[in-house]
Structure 1
Amino acid sequence: MNNFNIVVSFLRSVEEGNFSQAARCMGLTPAAVSKHVQQLESELGVRLVHRNTRALALTAVGEMYFQRMSNLYSELRQLEQDVRHHGSEVGGRLRLTLPNGIGRNYFLPVLNEFSQLHQSLKLELHFEDRIVDLVRDGYDAGIGDQLAKDSSFVAKALLPLQRLVFASPAYLTRSGTPQTLADLDGHDCIRVVSQNSGRLMPWEFNDNGVLRRVEVEGRLTVNDPFAACEAALQGAGLAMIGTVQAYPYLATRRLVPLLTDFAPPPRSIYFYYAHRRHLSLPVRLLQDFLMVRMQKSMPPIFGDGYRWPA
């Protein structure tokens, strides 16, 4: 398609109901608008509208084309607006909900970077481990892996969330390295109690395509995965924690991933908001920032055959 103006003529003609009104809105003649639509039909090789002297009606394929092209054109206009305003000061308030552990330890530094870029924008961060109704609770957006079952939510995958067994080199030197799931028996395993349910978080593995739960024992139990990560760093035992928690210590081998052949498939951590249309500029800018920034600190995915986002 050589000229996007012919698409705009088609969209405006459908919205206004006839070529004459579309022409007045666009500052063109009805003949020019009609010619644009004919040119578009010729390029696509299909009839988009049925014409008469007073009005036009969409064909079936014209209806499909109009709906999808309207959405694309709306996104294009929004993109142009965002780019024009990107270098200017963005004000107002952005109210965001995040899970406690990952929110504080992983996303808070990233959000501070975003805040430094837009110093006129006020960030209001709420850390809470529950499923949040964004509209009811008055949030602009959220970050997390637990989403309310609401079809109006738009969710963008930011990071893989995969739980795996990790240990420090000092512990493995002292106690040995488990090679099979059966080897977990007799190891000192750091267990984590869920702050939501109050129950021990299970140790689950992918055993030849079957999700297998293994009962483990240990002297230390905590209610925070980041505390379990810290205990593992100190040599207290094996810890089944998220790769997000362990990621800062993998490159320096302060933590060693174990039983990677049995790694369960990852879930996703999302950036989500309630509605696609009329999305505020601060939310759009934050979404774009997070999608780019997270690529720079992406934890690895362990196991065969997995592709993220899930």
Structure 2
Amino acid sequence: MNQFLLNNYLKSPLNYTGGKHKLLKQITPLFPTEIDTFVDLFAGGCNVAVNVDVKRIIANDINTDIIELYEFLKRCASSDVIAQIEDIIDLYGLSNTTKYGYEKYKTSSSKGVGTYNKKAYEKLRRDYNKNPTPLMFYTTLVFAFNNQIRFNSKGEFNTPVNKRDFNKNMKKNLELFIDRLNTLNISFSSKDFKDISISKNSFVYIDPPYLATLAAYNENGGWNEKKEQELLDYMDALDAKGVKFALSNVFENKGNKNNLLLEWSQKYKVHHLDFTYHNCNYQAKNKKADSTKEILITNY
């Protein structure tokens, strides 16, 4: 029988829109108690995958930069990764307030180091876009606004500079995440969800882009009604094979209803969760607590 790490939930080192860290205490008790292979079909920040204790984990995401980062982190010791990130910071002349404080950069904690880092960060970002590597990807995220992952239509990382740098909390979070990866039997893939082979003894957790929202992952037409219908058909096929799944989603956001999902969900079990995304950028103007309520749909 699998046991979920209810008292030791790790937070992803990636600030991924819609990350499920705050929902883990509600989601994981709803998972089956017997799981052989756990498949995280849209892994994103990997908050769910690294917080389940099962025999085998497959974490998939279409974003190759994210998957290559996870594969790199799993091959390395956390101390080595942090040392290499600090080398990049020194190379580009970016701030290190943990080591030197804010006085060195003629600023304060409230003002932050965005002005100081702007030119160096933009060079780092350009260099990453020209020659992307996992370490450059993560270091760029550290100095990106709100540590957000955002690419333009050309596939270039385009988030502006952050007011913070590689502080103690980020270092500790990354260290714990790498150490956890090194204890798990986890493999990574970067495929379209339809191309993932699912065995009958697998449990599939599905946290796709939300059709009803306007998050960064939807801005360039990355998720639409066609994709949504393909996913619903895919889950019906899993159900026909006897494969258990759980889907995270919302029925409505800012008055936009996902009618495809509403109709499809009637044949399965809907769990209403006690959480809304008040602080997420794609719902910042939405003040209705019930309009973006998270749900979990299961076929068991």
TM-score, normalised by the number of residues in structure 1: 0.24
Structure (1 or 2) with the greater strand fraction: 1
TM-score, normalised by the number of residues in structure 2:
0.25
